[in-house]
Amino acid sequence: MSAQNQELRLTTRGRQAMRLLRTMVCALVIIGGAFFVATQSFSAAAGAETEDIGIDTEAVVVGEGESLWAVASNLGIERDTRDVVTEIVEINHLSSPVVHPGQTLDVPQR
């Protein structure tokens, strides 16, 4: 028999393995698509929330050794610093008040 006339023959176990592989690839594509759609929806919602708040903001870069409290205090806004910190956390969708040097934050305009 020549090499051109040979067909690939799979055993029962081989066919099961191929079905499993196909199923796994399909599942990964579906999960990946769902994850992509979810992250895009979350990004759009986060952007919309900032616009809905109706607050004029400006960008501030966190300096070395600065805390969120220091950033809020340095804005010179005539309000309780705790309220300003809370507002900055909400505007930037921060999960905690921890900030890092070089991080850009949207803050209420002065």
Q: What is the CATH number of the domain that holds 77?
A: 3.10.350.10
Task: Write the pLDDT tens digit of every residue in 19-30.
Answer: 999 999 999 999
Are both 64 and 95 inside the same structural domain?
yes
Task: Write the pLDDT tens digit of every residue in 29-61.
Answer: 999 888 888 777 655 555 545 455 567 889 999
Tokens of 96: 């905690």
Residue 23 is part of which domain span?
Answer: 9-45
* Number of domains present in the structure of the chain: 2
| Residue corresponding to tokens 């594509």 | 29
Are both 40 and 16 inside the same structural domain?
yes
Q: What is the number of H-type helices and E-type strands within the chain?
A: 3, 2
pLDDT of 64 above 70: yes
Q: Stretch 84-101: mean pLDDT, rounded?
A: 91
CB 108 within 8 A of CB 75: yes
Q: How many CB atoms lie within 10 A of CB 85?
A: 19
Angle between helices 12-53 and 81-92 (to 10 degrees): 140
- Whole-model pTM? 0.51
